[in-house]
Amino acid sequence: MNKVTVRDIEVGGKRVLVRVDFNVPLDEKTGAIADDSRIRATLPTIKYLIDRGARIILCSHLGRPGGKVVDKLRLPIIAQRLSQILGKQVGVTRDCIGSETEKSVQSLKSSDVLLLENLRFHSAEERDNPIFARALARLADIYVNDAFGTSHRSHASIVRITEYLPSVAGLLLEKEVKTLGGVLENPAHPFGGLVGGAKVSDKVDMLENIMSKVDFLLIGGGMAATFLKAKSYEIGLSLIESDRVDTAAGLIEEASRNGVRLLLPVDVIVTDEIGDEAKGKIVSIESISPQQKIVDIGSHTIRNFYEELRRCKTVFWNGPMGIYEIPQFAEGTKAMAKLLASLDAITIIGGGSTAEVVIELGLADKMSFVSTGGGASLKFLGGQTLPGVESLLDKDSLVIGKLKGVTPSR
């Protein structure tokens, strides 16, 4: 990664504003943190700064408050969990900007950690507002982006702020870019892509970009119905993107031209209705009735996918194989997670709902890498630039001495 990282600069005694992604899932009933993986993922950067005596100011969003203060999306619960994990007190402000917040920052001592209140309580955050970004920048001497999962967004705390502070990458963002970049540049072969989820449109760029790199491409989830439709199979009442059927057909042809073995389901679980009490049955793809909906891959498909994936040296997985939220339609997804966890291969999980599945099943530590960015990882693997990464200082800045007031580390 050709970007300056927090390791490259002196941070001792400096006020360092770190954009993190603490947008953790909350329990709907209790409001408690349901999974703190995103908090733990940024610990290397936070601990690095603590150990070097920086004055650390963390900022994040949580949920979608729409530019208004929403009490259930306040961040003291995050600060409390981070305090427990770090074993030291993490303060939290009542707002992310303003005179009161500036006073809290001024009182910080070396190695202190302060968390700013939810950035998205201000609509200016998502509008990439320069006045808001400048108010954030006044709090610090250096800006660190460690929020890979939000780096595909052109928001004030991600992009605009880099106009006002010397801006570098955190250790998590560096790891994400290097790991996902390795998939594109030099994957160990055979290389398999396991792709699911609901929409083809979300993954077209990624599929096209990795087509010349993978040996196998396995398609499941709701998007499989669009591919089956492209091959003229009856898909019943399954939800598809009608305007993407031709796109799917084109991807099938492209796979053939590139010598990529593309596998679609040969059997699926179908149901007449979708709901918690719904019952499904396995049918071959030739036997789907006009009144049925595809909700998962079938047992024969699981075996086919297993036979291909067990030969791989690298596997990238993004998207569940069925409607994971309904237990009886989650077996295909669980089977793939357990399979990848057992492989002697580099296994990379592409964030979002796929990461949530792996974490929920307790298999995250069995995978080589679990990305914290769903949309960001898809855009990155689709060959698109991420605004939050592009706006950081280049490594060349260190060489030619243009660090905008930042001292290189020794």
**Residues classed as catalytic:** 38, 199, 352, 375
Taking the C-alpha atoms of residue 212 and residue 258, their distance in angstroms, rounded to an integer, is: 6
Q: Which distant-in-sequence residues (6+ apart) come within 8 Å of 104 by Cβ?
A: 91, 93, 114
Taking the C-alpha atoms of residue 355 and residue 320, their distance in angstroms, rounded to an integer, is: 10
Cβ 233 vs Cβ 208: under 8 Å: no
Q: Which two tokens stand for residue 126?
A: 């998502």
Q: Which two tokens stand for residue 246?
A: 């031709």
- Residue 134: its H or E element: helix 130-137
What DSSP assignment string belongs to 323-365?
-TTSGGG-HHHHHHHHHHHH-SSEEEE-SHHHHHHHHHTT-GG
Q: Which distant-in-sequence residues (6+ apart) come within 8 Å of 195 by Cβ?
A: 203, 206, 207, 217, 218, 219, 220, 221, 223, 317, 318, 319
Helical packing angle, 43-51 and 76-86, nearest 10°: 60
Cα separations in angstroms, 282 against 194, 238, 268, 274, 297? 21, 15, 6, 15, 8
- Whose CA is closest to 274, among 249, 237, 247, 300? 237
